[in-house]
């Protein structure tokens, strides 16, 4: 039974359980991604990965406002979405290491984790590639009257893909319960989005009559609240919405992108990390509003760390799939 914690400002009206769960999830993503970076640096992880560090409040604020059976589609930078929607770190790490215990039996890797149990239709390595899938999931929800909602996560770089405009038009025509979430971390790989994006981002959903809002992607409470309104609209059959979440990635485009001076200033990174860190901002709020004590937060952090460490260990110990499995799952 939830106890209301009266606090001011963004996210007021949320129960302390909700606040603490969001804190927990954000910390989980942060620690998960630090481990991914570690695994890459130690050359234990095959291939590359795109870290979500710095953007945690977006995935967490949104997924906190969804039901477990609501759908999401994710991107190449998908670990945060996946965890926030309820996947467990052990099978995720296993997937990142190409182990059989992974969510995709090792066949998908970092860019393709999918999990039916938590409504995750899958990460996608084609920029904008999942816009059709998310809209299709919303189409099913409407056809079958299930009241489910689909959230389509994509980076601002996906605004360059025509598919997005085709499906937004269809989603509005058919009033589908889908929410398009544009995570604007300001860079398409190594190019600033201002060099790739003409006009105002919010004018794009407006082109199809889709209502939109922009939100501070570092403020998890604000993200949660705006998403809740959009989810409500969707469930009431009022159709699609578009959310622009302004955020920042602390690390490189991928784990191997370490010298970034040629496309963005160290100082810009420092500023975001120092002044706009979503976890620090949340901690400050929770302490200030007395939603939690430092001791409580430390305990949560410790629990999460134990879980993540165990998950990594699990993945490292887990066996690779037998080569005989390579031919399985091509056809259902």
Partner 1 sequence: MPEVAVRELTMAEAIREALAEELRRDSRVCIIGEDVAEAGTPFKVLSGLVEEFGKSRVIDTPISEAGFTGIAVGAAMTGLRPVVDIMFGDFLTLTMDQMVNQAAKVHYMSGGAWKVPMVMRTTLGASRRSAAQHSQSLHAWVSHVPGLKVVLPSTPYDAKGLMKSAIRDDNPVIIFEDKMMFRFKGPVPAEEYTIPLGLADIKREGEDITIVATSSMVQVALGAAKLLEEIGVSAEVVDPRTMWPLDETTLIESAKKTSRAIVVDEGYERYGVTAEIASVIAAGAFYDLDAPVKRIGAMHVPIPFSPPLEDATVPTEQQVFEAARAMCKK
**Residue numbers at the binding site for ligand TPP (CB under 6 A):** 50, 76-77, 125-127, 155-158, 185, 187-189, 253
Which C-beta is closer to ligand TPP: that of 69 or that of 189?
189
Which C-beta is closer to partner 1: that of 193 or that of 250?
193
Which C-beta is closer to a copy of itself: that of 89 or that of 205?
205
What backbone torsions phi and psi does residue 123 show, to the nearest 5 degrees? -75, 165
Which C-beta is closer to ligand TPP: that of 188 or that of 246?
188
Which residue has the CB atom at the shortest distance from ligand TPP?
Answer: 155
- For residues 186 and 193, the answer to whether their CB atoms sit within 8 Å is yes
First to last CA, the chain: 43
Which C-beta is closer to partner 1: that of 197 or that of 289?
197
- The token pair at 241 is 């919405």
The H or E element containing residue 279 is: helix 278-288
Residue 165 engages a copy of itself in binding (rule: CB under 8 A): yes
Residue 144 engages partner 1 in binding (rule: CB under 8 A): yes
Q: Which does 208 bind (CB under 5 to 8 A by kind): a copy of itself, Mg ion, partner 1, none?
A: a copy of itself
Q: How far is the CB of 139 from Mg ion (least distance, A)?
A: 25
Binding-site member from 5, 120, 185, 225 for Mg ion (CB under 5 A): 185
**What part of residues 30-49 is at the interface with partner 1 (CB under 8 A)?**
46-48
Place of tokens 């939603």: 291
Q: Which of 217, 179, 219, 283 is nearest to 11 (CA)?
A: 219
What backbone torsions phi and psi does residue 163 show, to the nearest 5 degrees? -50, -40
**DSSP single-letter state for residue 150:** E
Which C-beta is closer to ligand TPP: that of 11 or that of 128?
128
Place of tokens 């290491």: 97
Q: Distance between CA atoms of 284 and 299, rounded to whole angstroms?
A: 16
Q: Which does 77 bind (CB under 5 to 8 A by kind): ligand TPP, partner 1, Mg ion, none?
A: ligand TPP
Binding-site member from 145, 199, 274, 322 for a copy of itself (CB under 8 A): 199
* Residue 4 DSSP SS3: strand
Q: Distance between CA atoms of 129 and 115, rounded to whole angstroms?
A: 18
- The answer for 94, left when phi > 0, alpha when psi is -120 to 50, beta otherwise, is alpha
The H or E element containing residue 303 is: helix 294-317
Q: Which does 126 bind (CB under 5 to 8 A by kind): Mg ion, partner 1, a copy of itself, none?
A: partner 1
List residues binding a copy of itself (CB under 8 A): 159-166, 168-170, 172-173, 195-200, 203-204, 206-210
List residues binding Mg ion (CB under 5 A): 155-156, 185, 187
């Amino acid at each position: 039974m939830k106890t209301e914690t009266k606090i001011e400002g963004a996210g007021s009206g949320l129960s302390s359980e909700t606040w603490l769960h969001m804190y927990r999830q954000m910390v989980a993503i942060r620690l998960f991604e630090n481990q991914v970076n570690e695994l890459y640096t130690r050359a234990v992880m095959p291939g590359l990965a795109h870290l979500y560090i710095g953007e945690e409040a977006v995935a967490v604020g949104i997924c906190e406002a969804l039901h477990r059976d609501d759908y999401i589609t994710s991107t190449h930078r998908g670990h945060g979405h996946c965890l926030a929607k309820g996947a467990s770190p052990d099978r995720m790490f296993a997937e990142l290491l190409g182990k059989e215990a992974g969510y995709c039996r090792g066949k998908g890797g970092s860019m393709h984790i999918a999990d039916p149990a938590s409504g995750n239709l899958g990460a996608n390595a084609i920029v904008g590639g999942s816009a059709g899938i998310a809209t299709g999931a919303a189409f099913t929800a409407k056809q079958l009257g299930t009241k489910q909602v689909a959230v389509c996560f994509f980076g601002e770089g996906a605004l360059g893909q025509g598919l997005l405009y085709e499906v937004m038009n269809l989603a509005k025509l058919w009033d589908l319960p889908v929410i398009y979430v544009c995570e604007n971390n300001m860079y398409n790989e190594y190019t600033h989005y201002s060099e790739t994006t003409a006009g105002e981002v919010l004018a794009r959903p407006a082109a199809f009559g889709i209502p939109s809002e922009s939100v501070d992607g570092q403020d998890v409470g604000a993200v949660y609240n705006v998403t809740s309104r959009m989810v409500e609209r969707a469930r009431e059959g009022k159709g699609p919405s578009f959310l622009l979440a302004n955020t920042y990635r602390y690390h490189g485009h991928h784990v191997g992108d370490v010298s970034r001076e040629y496309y963005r200033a160290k100082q810009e990174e420092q500023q975001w990390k120092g002044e706009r860190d979503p976890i620090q901002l949340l901690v400050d709020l929770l302490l200030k509003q007395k939603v939690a004590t430092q001791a409580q937060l430390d305990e949560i952090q410790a629990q999460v760390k134990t879980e993540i460490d165990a998950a990594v260990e699990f993945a490292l110990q887990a066996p690779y799939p037998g080569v005989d499995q390579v031919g399985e799952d091509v056809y259902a």
